[in-house]
Amino acid sequence: MKHFKITSIAIATTVLLTMGSCRENIDEGARYTFTGHTIASFLEENEDVFSSFIEILDRGGRLNLMKAYGQYTCFAPTNDAITRYLFEQDSIYKSTLNSENPVWTGVTSTELSELSDSMCKVIAQTHLIPQVYLTTDMEGDIIPTMNMNDRFLSLDVTVDANSHSVLLINGTGEIIAKDEEVENGVVHTISSVLNPSANTVPAQIAAHEYFKIISEAIEKTGYADLLQLYKDESYTDGDKKALGIYSNSPLCPYPANRYFGYTAFLEPDQVFFDAGIYNFEDLKAKCAEWYPKADVNAPLTSADNPVNQFVGYHLLDRKLAYSRLVCYKINPHSNFNSEKDLLNFSDRNEYFETMNNKLMKLTMPRSNPKYQTTILINYSRDTDPTVDPYMNTIVYNPQDFRVLDTLYADFAAEALNGTIHAIDKILIYNEDVMGGRVLNDIIRIDFSALCSELTNNDIRWNYFTHSSDGEVYIPHTYCKNMKVFTDETRHYYLSPHTSWANYQGDEMMTLGSFDFAYKLPPVPAGTYEIRMGYSANSNRHIVQFYIDNEVAGIPVDLRILGSHPTINWVADAQTEDNGIQNDKEMKNRGYLKGPITFRNTSETGLARDYDGDLRKVIITKYLSEGEHWLRFKNVNENDDGNAQFMHDYLEIVPMTFLRDETLSLDEKRK
């Protein structure tokens, strides 16, 4: 691409910049010998436009990095944008200096020379992403790789006065000169300094005037206090390296940080108004109806209180932008394409535990022509809205919500430590409906989804924060939903890869003399068949399963392919009845073929058509309310430390589903 001198820059508004932590694991020692531009030299050639940003990069210790080998996206604010930013932030600071709640902006002067080096570093890192994103890569609601302050940047598409499409970064930074490709990345010129919100989730909710009722409920039930965590400062393993999965592989990184995150699904006040709820007292009365088993006399902060139960079901302990609610068009740079590996007609489901310990189902119902690309909470295709008015709740895409009504035009979904989603119905948890319709299904959960930390720290579905082999070592105490019982346990997350026979492209892998457990998601009390999906090959393990520390069956050899006589997998095409009898024979041995909803690789057949893609029935068991743990132990006496316990996904299947004779063959095999 020809590089040119920028001569005209547009102006836009700005909002408050927040401090963030830094990705320090970047080698600044290597330098280019080049004939073309780096990011740094491109900015320097256009010094009349970018001199202020160059100074910020230099004083923030990142200018030399922009001369180095690597792949970066640089959102470069103009001199005018930085001048305006300093004036506005200084004005905010000085106007509140004598108030009861002064606002610290980090800017105490309109002069760039007075800006601290630490603030220069924050501003510099806010505008740099350690991966290349052209504007053609930018779709959805966020850029899927964190910036160097470990924050996601949001995306918005709007139109200008001339009806031309405009791409906004973080709501205010209009890209006014795009896709300047250079030797070590790309430069986008923007009209404003990027300023992620400094608000935690409760403060961000309270800042929106149209969430007053639910905001008051969050405050009075005590959940506002539980939504304040941002970063675990006690975590000190970010610079460590672990032995990789393969003996000849490079050392594997630990997670760089341990961040906390939250997601809130919220009814705008108008949704409550439409239901005859006009204030918090009205909501209290309705909650007593919706949760008749709860104690109306219990304190609002008690889990026994109906309002507390109502609010808790709106909250998750993980930060989920709209584009990460389900596995759909994940990171475009990842070596995995959900739209090739997951079949077009297959619903995209995710299941998460809410902050009041109930199960929430999120679905993009690709099998339903009515919704296709809509994300719904507690979706059931057979739900009658006149009978169950609170099911099939739509989660608004942030961009759609902003244009729904002028009242919502200022909607900012991303908070410092979480994400806010507006919904179109009142969200309640009805156990009879959940167990009878919504969850009376194959509840398939990727093992990586059981640990919120893998989402909050940009590990799940991301390739670029990992080793060259695409793996991250998971420390023993990193995930609260995982217990590790032996020091020799080596636990890894492997990022999505298109050539693997895996559900969402990724997998969990454990090596060594392992003994560990995952907490199961909180399904309604009942009898379930519990299964594990995995990919068998000669590198695998022999594992003993336990449920709640009780032995579940005999040890299972994961090295054995389905075609082995002990499993007796036969391809459907080689049978006279499309594999129906073979399914029964395999089930009698405790196995199922892979599902028909994803491929064994993006280029070949279904998982069901591959004898290495199997599901093992671990146990059929009654699960009562309360915690349950699925435990795995190495029982391979010949293990040299390199055998792999690959575990892809968990299935929890109600016996009512398995016994339903009205279901089609495809429903049973999905």
* For residue 121, pLDDT beyond 80: yes
Structure tokens at 45: 């050639």
Nearest to 336 by CA among 327, 323, 345, 344: 327
Q: What is the mean pLDDT of residues 247-264?
A: 90
Q: What is the pLDDT of residue 14?
A: 33
Q: Would the CA dihedral through 214, 215, 218, 223 be positive or negative?
A: positive
What range defines the domain where residue 560 resides? 443-669
Q: Are residues 430 and 457 in the same domain?
A: no
Q: What is the mean pLDDT of residues 380-385?
A: 72
**What confidence tier does 587 reach under pLDDT thresholds 50, 70, 90?**
very high
Total of domains in the chain:
3
Q: Are residues 167 and 255 in the same domain?
A: no
Cα 588 to chain centroid, rounded: 37
* For residue 361, pLDDT beyond 60: yes
Helices H, strands E: what count in the chain?
17, 31
Which tens digit of pLDDT belongs to each residue from 596-608? 999 887 667 899 9
Structure tokens at 154: 């949001």
Asked which of 384, 414, 438 is the last residue of a domain, the reply is 438
Q: Are residues 428 and 453 in the same domain?
A: no
**What confidence tier does 352 reach under pLDDT thresholds 50, 70, 90?**
very high
3-state secondary structure at position 367: coil
Q: What is the mean pLDDT of residues 321-346?
A: 79
* For residue 17, pLDDT beyond 80: no
- 15: in domain: no
DSSP string, 543-566: EEEEETTEE-SS-EETTS-TTSTT
Q: What is the mean pLDDT of residues 420-447?
A: 94
Q: Are residues 282 and 166 in the same domain?
A: no
Structure tokens at 626: 């309360």
**454: phi > 0 → left, psi -120 to 50 → alpha, else beta; which?**
alpha
Which tens digit of pLDDT belongs to each residue from 609-663? 999 999 999 999 999 999 999 999 999 999 999 999 999 999 999 999 999 999 9
- For residue 665, CA distances in Å to 3, 307, 578, 658 come to 59, 42, 10, 11
Q: Are residues 218 and 358 in the same domain?
A: yes
Cα 22 to chain centroid, rounded: 20
pTM over 0.85: yes
Which tens digit of pLDDT belongs to each residue from 175-221? 999 999 999 999 999 999 998 778 999 999 999 999 999 999 999 99
State residue 418 phi and psi, 5-degree precision: 175, -170
The single residue listed with the structure tokens 């346990």 is: 489
Beta bridge partners of 634: 543
DSSP string, 208-244: SGGGHHHHHHHHHTTHHHHT---B-TT---TT-EE--
- 597: in domain: yes
Q: What is the CATH number of the domain that holds 166?
A: 2.30.180.10
